[in-house]
Structure 1
Amino acid sequence: MNVGFIGTGNMGRTLVEAFIRSGKLKPSDIIINNRTRSKADRLAETHPGLRIADNSRELVRETPLFFLCIKPGEFRPVLDEIRETVRSEQIAVSITSPVMIRDLEEWLPAKVAKIIPSINHAVLAGNSLFVPGNRLTADDQQMLWNLFSAISQPLRIEEEHTRIASDLASCSPAFFAQLLESLANTAVKETGIPQSSALSLVNQMTQGLARLLAEGGFTLQSLQERVAVPGGITREGLDLLNKEVSPVFHELIQLTHAKYDHDVKKVKHSLGHTAKKNM
């Protein structure tokens, strides 16, 4: 089965390479198109056999399943381009959280789903967030679930929880990478430990933490309890983090939701205005 990817930016490329790495798709199964042709060329050079469509319409004509791996502001021109080419038996998957399934179903005759990926898929890990549209059959849903099971652990969510689930599954790797980098850099400034040593310690700790949670039988809570003995240094550190860092996460979630609401309104205005003109 040919699978198309409209958009080969950071996440589009991650998906393409994850599916190839997992063996679920061969390069020859994949057709891509990108607004900046050079990005598509580089991806095709890395994976011989991968095909590049000259435009999005050509890609849609040749694929029963295609992914919209584009930014919210790019949906209107892309949908304008492909809507007359899309067929009712096709499946269109958006990976962009602020674009609502109902709006896509008004624009396209295809069966629609929203699946939010994560950078973790690059190592065939993490959750993919699965929101099926109303037209998907049970077989369609199973096919998509099986596809993403090769690169992730799919998790079905309600569309109203897309933002918070994305914060936890998709944004958190960057959030925690920054926190860990800050921890290492602060250690360097406060103690003079070589930066290479500090970063190595943090990286190895992170890998071990992941294994403890995945293979060691620990939960987040039980791990804290095991390390933080009463009256010890770790307990004092945890008390400080609970006091000073926890409020930051409240602000973080409020910020991401405010940005999400803003993007949803912008997309709805763009798509809703054009959809009414074409009804």
Structure 2
Amino acid sequence: MRTGVIGTGNMGEILIHALIDSKAVMPSELSIINRTEVKAKRLAEKLPGVTLAESIPKLVQTCDLVFICVKPHDIYPILAEVKDLFRPEQCVVSITSPVSTAQLESVLSCSCMRMIPSITNKVLSGAVLYTFGERCQDGWKMEMKEKMELLSREAIEIDESVTRAASDLVSCGPAFISYLTRRLIEGAETTGMDAETAEKLAECMLTGLGELFKQKEYTLAQLEEKVCVKGGVTGKGIAVLEEETGDMFSKLFKATHQKFAEDKQETAAQFGIH
């Protein structure tokens, strides 16, 4: 089975590495293309066996499974150009949250699904979110579940109504946590600790924390209870966090949902349906 990836930006490149490293796709079975050719060419040179496709139409004609890894407003123009080249037995996977499976199916006659990866998939960990289209064939559902389980710790099917919130946790979450950790490190630096030491300690803490959850030692609530001794130092720190964060995360989700709504409005205008 031949697989194609349209778009080799940040997430496209991460997906390509995850597919190959997990052996979900062999390099010799993979074709890639990008609007900026030099970017895809540079990636193909790093991955022996991977084919740099001549054009999007050529990729569509020669691949059974096609991942579309471009910005939301770029998906419809690409599909509109090559929709007649797709065959019913193929499967198309969009990795962007604002484009629904119904929108894909309104243009294409093949199996369609949405799969939202995470940067954590680069090390074959974390989660992958997915939603199958109504007409997605059972064979493709089985095939894609197997692939997603190879390149992540868990593949989680989500309903359209929670797409954005789920994406915030799984896909955007690493960036949010990285930002908060960086601010934690900056706070440590105010005590006189050097930046390099603070960063190393924070990295060790995050790695260990992840391992605790991986081994199912504690839930989030249990871990906080174990570390936060009543009246102790950690408790003082938690009290500051409770006061300072306030409704910060509610505002965060409100902002991401507002952007999501804008993107969905644009894609709805392109596809003609929500």
* TM-score, normalized by the shorter chain, greater than 0.5: yes
Flag the 1:25–1:247 CA change in 2: closer, same or farther, 3 A. Answer: same
Question: Does the aligned pair in 2 maintain the 1:114–1:131 contact within 8 Å?
Answer: yes
| 1:87-102 pair list within 5 angstroms | 87-102=87-102
> 2:164 — aligned with what?
163
> 1:183 — aligned with what?
184
Structure 1 residue 80 displacement after superposition: 2.0
Letter in 2 for 1:18: A
| 1:3-82 pair list within 5 angstroms | 3-82=3-82
Question: Does the aligned pair in 1 maintain the 2:106–2:271 contact within 8 Å?
Answer: no
Structure 1 residue 246 displacement after superposition: 4.3
Q: Which moved more, 1:82-91 or 1:251-260?
A: 82-91
2: distance between equivalents of 1:157 and 1:246? 28
1: distance between equivalents of 2:214 and 2:239? 26
Question: Does the aligned pair in 2 maintain the 1:6–1:33 contact within 8 Å?
Answer: yes
Say which SS state the counterpart of residue 204 (structure 1) adopts.
helix
Structure 1 residue 138 displacement after superposition: 2.3
Q: Does 1:209 align with 2:209?
A: yes
| 1:219-238 pair list within 5 angstroms | 219-238=219-238
2: distance between equivalents of 1:139 and 1:30? 20
Structure 1 residue 243 displacement after superposition: 2.5
Say which SS state the counterpart of residue 154 (structure 1) adopts.
strand
Structure 1 residue 216 displacement after superposition: 5.3
1: distance between equivalents of 2:126 and 2:249? 21
Structure 1 residue 67 displacement after superposition: 0.5
2: distance between equivalents of 1:243 and 1:167? 23
Say which SS state the counterpart of residue 23 (structure 1) adopts.
coil
Q: Gapped runs of 5+ residues in structure 2?
A: none
Say which SS state the counterpart of residue 253 (structure 1) adopts.
helix
2: distance between equivalents of 1:15 and 1:168? 18
Structure 1 residue 92 displacement after superposition: 0.4
Question: Does the aligned pair in 2 maintain the 1:56–1:81 contact within 8 Å?
Answer: no
> 2:250 — aligned with what?
250
1: distance between equivalents of 2:137 and 2:25? 22
Equivalenced residues, count: 272
1: distance between equivalents of 2:119 and 2:59? 25
2: distance between equivalents of 1:83 and 1:115? 20
After superposition, give the CA deviation of every residue in 1:50-103 in whole Å (9 maximum; x if it has no partner).
Answer: 001111111010111101111012113211221111111110011010011111
TM-score when normalising by structure 1: 0.95
2: distance between equivalents of 1:246 and 1:210? 25
Say which SS state the counterpart of residue 135 (structure 1) adopts.
coil
Aligned-CA RMSD value: 1.2
> 1:2 — aligned with what?
2
2: distance between equivalents of 1:170 and 1:116? 7
> 1:103 — aligned with what?
103
Structure 1 residue 25 displacement after superposition: 1.6
> 1:277 — aligned with what?
none
Say which SS state the counterpart of residue 4 (structure 1) adopts.
strand
Structure 1 residue 199 displacement after superposition: 0.5
The alignment-based identity, stated in percent, is 39
Question: Does the aligned pair in 2 maintain the 1:30–1:51 contact within 8 Å?
Answer: yes
After superposition, give the CA deviation of every residue in 1:95-134 in whole Å (9 maximum; x if it has no partner).
Answer: 0100111111111111110010000000101111010001
TM-score when normalising by structure 2: 0.97
1: distance between equivalents of 2:246 and 2:49? 48
2: distance between equivalents of 1:215 and 1:159? 30
Question: Does the aligned pair in 2 maintain the 1:92–1:111 contact within 8 Å?
Answer: yes
Question: Does the aligned pair in 2 maintain the 1:118–1:169 contact within 8 Å?
Answer: yes
Say which SS state the counterpart of residue 112 (structure 1) adopts.
strand
Say which SS state the counterpart of residue 113 (structure 1) adopts.
strand
Question: Does the aligned pair in 2 maintain the 1:7–1:33 contact within 8 Å?
Answer: yes
Structure 1 residue 239 displacement after superposition: 2.1
Say which SS state the counterpart of residue 129 (structure 1) adopts.
strand
Letter in 2 for 1:170: S
Structure 1 residue 24 displacement after superposition: 2.2
After superposition, give the CA deviation of every residue in 1:146-196 in whole Å (9 maximum; x if it has no partner).
Answer: 0111011100111111100000000010000011011101221x2121110
Q: Gapped runs of 5+ residues in structure 1?
A: 274-279
> 2:270 — aligned with what?
270
